[in-house]
Amino acid sequence: MEYWTRGHIIGHGATAAVSVATSQISGEIFAVKSAELSQSEPLQREHKILSTLNNPHIICYKGCNISVENNKPIFNLMMEFAPKGTIADRILRIQLDETSIGYYTCGILKGLEYLHSKGIVHCDIKGSNVLLTELNEVKITDFGCAKFADEAAIGGTPMYMSPEAARGEEQSFPADIWALGCTVIEMSTGKSPWPNAAATLRRIAFSGESPEIPDFISGEAKDFLSKCLRVDPKQRWTAKELLRHPFLDEFRFEHLEKIEDNTCSPTSILDHGIWSLVEEEVLSETPCEVNYEDLSDSPMERIKELATNSSGRANWEWRESWIIVRDSEKCQY
């Protein structure tokens, strides 16, 4: 990768930026993470770890070099390019269904099992650090906080930190499992695993609470999360144990093409996240007592029923009380 051309920036970190790059010899497209050499110690540490890894669920290392740009020496870390972006990008565009969530979770776990077998803790598992390739393969990326399990350092994103890490005690393999549970909640709801960023780190560290598990997911998914989000790190399941959990049985060998079809638009009013916000508005903005019996056959409840139907498929059976809001025969295109 000695001769290459830098393209547009696709991501930013605290001291580094990620760009698309093209080999001038082969035409191969890859990603390059770059930082000024004087500020590149974290990136060089990431290089030291990533260059030792070889697993289908870890972003592929392609090399490193030092270039001079604008009269400044730049340290460059070359990696596989994943054109579909991150899981966090994906949930901004579409609402993931449980098939997709299970498939992505399985891929992350396989990557974590490999890392943990090498004695490495990722320390920053979250939706924005999991990439999707053109074939929808799941790839863990961003090893800027990664370390060996016996190292004392603690880092990562506060909202995904385990209680023991938030207290500054330790950050080992169980911390990655806690972060995985937070990421599954992120994939399910499209939102942060904790509802309020203010004072959350203290709450995570000392309250003895775990993030709220969504009501609308399956029983198996809830049980899976309960194994990830145990406050005591010694009671959390390992990556190897979680890969045998029934939640992942039907997703482990799912065809990649099928995952693409099992999603819906986030702009739809049927999204689960929207209904949680609607209910919060009803309770917080209405000073009088809410009679839920009066809402049981309201248009809002009927639409919500379509969104949360337990079978996973909407029941569009006609009811006399439905109101026509647009007649397709009269629409002009």
> In degrees rounded to 5, what are phi and psi of residue 213?
-85, 130
Determine which one of 97, 124, 223, 327 is catalytic.
124
Question: In terms of C-beta density within 10 A (0-12 exposed, 13-18 middle, 19 or more buried), how is residue 310 classed?
Answer: exposed
Query: Contact at 8 Å (CB) between 181 and 228?
Result: yes
- Catalytic site includes residue 223: no
**In angstroms, rounded to a whole number, what is the distance separating the alpha carbons of residues 1 and 23?**
6
Strand partners, 19: 9, 32
> In this structure, how many other beta carbons lie within 10 angstroms of the beta carbon of residue 307?
17
CA 241 → CA 79, 223, 248, distances in Å? 30, 13, 11
**In angstroms, rounded to a whole number, what is the distance separating the alpha carbons of residues 184 and 174?**
15
Active site residues: 124
